[in-house]
C-alpha cells in the first residue's frame, strides 16, 4: 500500500482543477496582453479568476495580485514595503516562521533594518503582550505566519491586527498553510498584506497570490511590463491562475466537512498510539480549532527521526521530518527548537499531514506500521 501523508508539503491537482487548466496549454494559449481575440479571451479568464478569488476571500478584485508562489508573495510583501519606506526601520516577526519570511527579514537586517522577534509559547502561540511592547512609531512591518506549517498552530490574527492598527504599522500575514484548511475572511482579519500558494490546496505548483490592501504603499519586486496593475511584471500564467481559482472554490466549499473528518482521524491516530503505550509528544496545540486539521507533528523518545522516516518510506508511507523546504538540514527544526521540545524527543520528529484523500483504511495501515517500527527501534 502507498499512503501519502505529506500534504503540508504539497497536494496533488484534482481532476476538476486539471480539467479547467488543460485548454490553456494548447488551444487557448494567447497572451493576455495581446489585443487580438485570442489574447482578449484569456484576459477575460484572468479577470474572471481574479474576481472569483476576491469574492471567495472577501476583498476587492483590485487587491489581488498573482505571483509565482507563496515564497515570492512573502518576499514581495516584506521587501516591497521596505523598498517604499524611507523613515521607519523596525521589522517584527517570530523565530517560528517559514524560511521565506525569516530569510527575507534577515536580508533587510543586513541592509540596515532592525529585526525584532516576538516570543512564542510552548505551543507556538505568539505572546501578544510581548508584541505590544515591541511595536512602536518606528515599526515598519509586522510579518507573521497565520498557521504554522510544521506544528499546525493557528494564530489569532484579528488580535494581532488590532495591535498593529493601533501602532500604525503594516501587517503581513503568511496564509500559505492556512488557506482552505481554516476559515479565512480577509475583510474581517483587516490585514494589509496576505500571501497564498496554490499547491497547498490542490491547485498547481508555480502559482500564488499576494493580497495588497487598497492604499498600501508597496514597490514592485519584479520589474518589466505593465501586468498586475504595473506592480508585478511577467506574462500571466493563465492555466495556473484558472486552476488556483477553481481549487480555492472547491476547497472552501468543502472546508467544514474537511475539518471535521481530519480532526476525527487525528484523534483516532493519537488514541491508538496511547493504547499501544507509545512514548510520544504532540508538538503544537491540541486537536481542535486552534490547530490545522490533519497536522500531526509527533516526537518519539529515544529514537532517530531519519531512520523512522526511512522505515516508514519502505512501507510506502510518505511523511516528512519537518518543512519540505528545509528537508536537507540535519539540524533539528528551528520551530521545534523555539518551542523547546526536549532533547530526547526532538531528533525523532515526524510530521504526518493528512489530506482530503486520506482514508480510514490508509490511516490504520500507517498506525499499525508506526507502532511496530517504534517498538522495534526502542
- This prediction's pTM: 0.95
**What mean pLDDT is predicted for residues 110-120?**
97
pLDDT in the model for residue 273: 98
d(CA 263, CA 188): 25
Average pLDDT for 94-122:
98
pLDDT confidence tier of residue 167, bands split at 50, 70 and 90:
very high
Question: Do residues 209 and 244 touch, judged by C-beta distance below 8 A?
Answer: yes
Span 53-68, average pLDDT:
98
Average pLDDT over every residue of 24-48: 92
pLDDT at 371: 96
The lowest-confidence range among 80-94, 252-266, 327-341, 342-356 is: 327-341
Nearest to 31 by CA among 244, 245, 239: 239
CA distance 121 to 156: 14
In the set 59, 164, 180, 325, the catalytic residue is 325
- In the chain, where the domains are located: 3-11+255-377, 15-253
Q: Which CATH architecture has domain 3-11+255-377?
A: Alpha-Beta Complex (3.90)
Give yes or no for residue 201 having a pLDDT over 50.
yes
Listing DSSP states for 259-313 in one string gives HHHHHHHHHHHHHHHHHTT--EEE-SSPSSTTB-TTEEEEEETTS-HHHHHHHHH
Integer Cα distance of 222 and 234 in angstroms:
8
Q: Which fold has domain 15-253?
A: 3.40.640
d(CA 195, CA 173): 6
Contacts of 90 (CB under 8 A, 6+ apart): 113, 114, 116, 134, 136, 138, 139, 140
What is the structure's pLDDT at 127?
A: 98
Max CA separation in the chain (angstroms): 68
**Cβ(9)–Cβ(353) under 8 Å?**
yes
> What is the four-CA torsion angle of 310, 316, 240, 145, rounded to 10 degrees?
-50
Residue 65 corresponds to which cell in the numbers above? 495580485
Percent of the chain topping pLDDT 70:
97
* Residue 323: per-residue pLDDT: 45
Kindly report the length of the chain. Answer: 378
The residue written with cell numbers 492598527 in the block is 165
pLDDT tops 70 at residue 14: yes
Tens of pLDDT, residue by residue over 268-304, are 999 999 999 999 999 999 999 999 999 999 999 988 8
- CA distance from start to end of the chain: 25
The answer to whether 75 and 100 have CB atoms below 8 angstroms apart is yes
Q: Grade residue 321 by pLDDT with cuts at 50, 70 and 90.
A: confident
What residues contact residue 217 under an 8 Å CB cut-off, 6+ apart? Answer: 81, 84, 85
**Cα–Cα distance measured from residue 243 to residue 201, given in angstroms and rounded to the nearest whole number:** 11
Burial (CB < 10 A; 0-12, 13-18, 19+), residue 26, is exposed
In the prediction, which pLDDT does 47 show?
97
Residue 195 has pLDDT above 50, yes or no: yes
Residue 328 banded pLDDT, cuts 50, 70, 90: low
| pLDDT at residue 305, rounded to an integer | 83
User: Average of pLDDT values for 132-136?
Assistant: 98
Give the confidence band of 331 by pLDDT, cuts at 50, 70, 90.
confident
**Mean pLDDT of all residues in the chain?**
95
pLDDT value at residue 181: 98
Residue 304: predicted pLDDT: 84
Q: Kindly give, in sequence order, each residue whose CB lies less than 8 Å from that of residue 111, ignoring residues fewer than 6 positions away.
A: none
Does residue 324 carry a pLDDT above 50?
no
Predicted pLDDT of residue 135: 98
Rounded to 5°, angle at Cα 298 from 293 and 301: 165
> Worst-scoring range by mean pLDDT, 37-46, 139-148, 369-378?
369-378
Is 180 known to be catalytic?
A: no
- Cα→Cα distances 22→11, 17, 81, 250, 321, Å: 18, 9, 36, 18, 34
Amino acid at each position: 500500500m502507498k499512503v501519502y501523508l505529506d500534504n503540508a508539503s504539497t497536494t496533488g491537482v484534482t481532476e476538476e482543477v486539471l480539467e479547467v487548466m488543460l485548454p490553456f496549454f494548447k488551444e487557448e494559449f494567447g497572451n493576455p496582453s495581446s489585443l487580438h481575440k485570442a489574447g482578449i479571451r484569456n484576459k477575460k479568464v484572468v479577470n474572471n479568476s481574479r474576481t472569483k478569488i476576491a469574492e471567495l476571500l472577501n476583498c476587492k478584485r483590485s487587491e489581488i495580485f498573482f505571483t509565482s508562489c507563496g515564497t515570492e508573495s512573502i518576499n514581495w510583501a516584506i521587501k516591497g514595503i521596505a523598498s517604499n519606506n524611507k523613515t521607519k526601520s523596525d521589522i517584527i516577526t517570530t523565530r517560528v516562521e517559514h524560511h521565506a519570511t525569516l530569510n527575507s527579514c534577515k536580508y533587510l537586517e543586513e541592509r540596515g533594518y532592525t529585526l525584532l522577534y516576538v516570543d512564542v509559547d510552548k505551543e507556538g502561540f505568539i505572546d501578544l503582550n510581548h508584541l505590544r511592547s515591541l511595536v512602536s512609531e518606528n515599526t515598519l512591518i509586522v510579518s507573521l505566519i497565520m498557521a504554522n506549517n510544521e506544528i499546525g498552530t493557528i494564530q489569532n490574527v484579528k488580535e494581532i491586527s488590532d495591535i498593529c492598527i493601533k501602532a500604525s504599522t503594516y501587517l503581513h500575514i503568511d496564509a500559505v498553510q492556512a488557506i482552505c484548511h481554516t476559515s479565512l475572511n480577509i475583510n474581517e482579519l483587516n490585514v494589509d498584506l496576505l500571501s497564498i500558494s496554490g499547491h497547498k490546496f490542490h491547485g498547481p505548483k508555480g502559482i500564488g497570490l499576494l493580497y495588497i490592501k487598497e492604499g498600501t504603499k508597496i514597490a514592485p519586486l519584479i520589474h518589466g511590463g505593465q501586468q498586475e496593475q504595473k506592480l508585478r511584471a511577467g506574462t500571466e500564467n493563465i492555466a495556473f491562475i484558472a486552476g488556483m481559482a477553481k481549487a480555492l472554490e472547491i476547497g472552501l466549499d468543502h472546508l467544514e466537512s474537511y475539518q471535521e473528518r481530519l480532526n476525527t482521524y487525528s484523534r483516532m491516530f493519537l488514541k491508538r498510539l496511547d493504547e499501544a503505550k507509545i512514548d510520544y509528544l504532540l508538538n503544537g496545540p491540541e486537536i481542535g480549532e486552534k490547530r490545522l486539521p490533519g497536522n500531526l507533528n509527533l516526537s518519539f523518545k529515544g529514537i532517530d527521526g531519519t531512520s523512522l522516516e526511512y522505515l516508514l518510506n519502505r512501507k510506502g508511507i510518505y511523511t516528512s521530518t519537518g518543512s519540505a523546504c528545509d528537508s536537507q538540514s540535519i539540524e533539528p527544526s528551528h520551530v521545534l527548537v523555539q518551542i523547546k521540545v526536549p532533547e530526547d524527543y526532538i531528533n525523532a520528529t515526524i510530521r504526518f499531514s493528512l489530506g482530503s484523500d486520506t482514508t480510514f483504511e490508509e490511516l490504520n495501515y500507517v498506525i499499525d506500521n508506526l507502532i511496530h517500527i517504534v517498538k522495534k527501534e526502542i
